[in-house]
Structure 1
Amino acid sequence: MKKILKVILIMALLFCLYLIYNHFTYNFHYTNGEKDGNIVTSPNGGYSAQVYYQNYGGAAGGVNTYVNVIFHLEDEIERTVYFSDAKGRVQLNWFGDELLSVTNYDEYGDRSIELVVGKEIYDEHGGACHTYKIKKNYVCYSKDNAKNGNQK
């Protein structure tokens, strides 16, 4: 009986350590997907944004979309700034050197947002917004915590 109790205690401890580790080291970065094909470069050439699509769930599933930005002035580092369910064809536009507009809507929902690159991110479900690493480095928005209350 003591051995079983020790094993259960060790398993619970390992699970707690995993949760703590994940909370402090979470990376909001997606790379597996199909590229949209249109790369949109910021007016000053400091950034390039690319839309990716990722199918999930088979025939009854859907499509996730994420936007990665390449930071040309920081050794070509690629970071994810946007993750959501695809509502339609996602369009990107730059409004200034660091303000990226992501348009993603249809008649059932609107996940469009404008993000200050390097300072803000969007995660539709908000999972990234609850992690220490993201809270420390970014302002994080989700469909429930919308920027200026614009999301539906």
Structure 2
Amino acid sequence: MVGITLTSAIMVYRLYFFSFSGLEGEHYKAPLPSPDGQYTADAYYNTYGGAAGGVNVWVDVTDHNNGDHVKTIYLGNAKEQFSLKWTDGETLYIQNETSGNNKYERSIELNVMTEIYHDTGLACQSLLLKETYETCYEHE
């Protein structure tokens, strides 16, 4: 009974209190400043699961007009092709795809002030993160 209660409590906690804190990994892409210099995007990665595992990739955006506040806006399973490109001062295009296979497409364009993406959708359900974005996307 204690095991079931503990497992349920952990699942509820992960579901509703998910945050991007605790992400640790290697720097993947050089800092990419926005056209107006207000933001800088950085990409990171970490491996999981050993030989049969995979690679997670995430993007942090630093707001230089807000005390260099850092916010994670993207977390997904890394694919063959990954790149970052600013389309304007507040919009970042994140390419994360396997060529020739749309099933594994994880690319998205995000307004760095109001939108986030989380592959599994935990961030979209998190009560802790609700105040940090207007729109949250997940892989379907």
Q: Provide the TM-score with structure 1 as the length reference.
A: 0.77
Structure 1 residues 63, 17: CA separation in 2 closer, same or farther (over 3 Å shift)?
Answer: closer
Compare the two structures and name the one with the higher helix fraction: 1
| Contiguous gaps of at least 5 residues in structure 1 | 1-6, 145-152
Between structure 1 and structure 2, the one with the greater Rg is 1
Deviation at 1:82, TM superposition (A): 0.3
- From 112, 115, 125, the equivalent of 1:117 is 112
**TM-superposed deviation, 1:92:** 0.4
Residue pair 2:115, 2:136 contacting (<8 A) in 1 also: yes
The SS at the match of 1:80 is strand
Do residues 98 (structure 1) and 90 (structure 2) align? Answer: yes
Counterpart of 2:19, as a letter, is: N
Q: Which has the higher contact order (CA 8 A, sep 6+)?
A: 2
SS of the equivalent of 2:62 reads strand
Q: How many residues align?
A: 135
Encode CA deviations 1:92-120: one digit per residue, 9 max, x unaligned.
00011000000010034110000000210
String of CA shifts for 1:39-60, please: whole Å, max 9, x gaps: 1100110100011111000011
Secondary structure of 2:81's aligned partner: coil
What is the percentage of aligned positions where both structures have the same residue?
A: 36
2: CA distance between counterparts of 1:85 and 1:44? 30
2:79 corresponding residue in structure 1: 87
- The answer on whether the counterparts of 2:15 and 2:125 sit within 8 Å (CA) in structure 1 is no
TM-score normalized by structure 2?
0.83
Report what 1:141 is aligned to: 137
- The structure-2 alpha-carbon separation of the partners of 1:43 and 1:81, relative to structure 1 and needing over 3 Å to count, comes to same
Structure 2: where are the runs of 5+ without partners? none
- Secondary structure of the structure 2 residue equivalent to 1:143: coil
Residue identity matched to 2:70: E
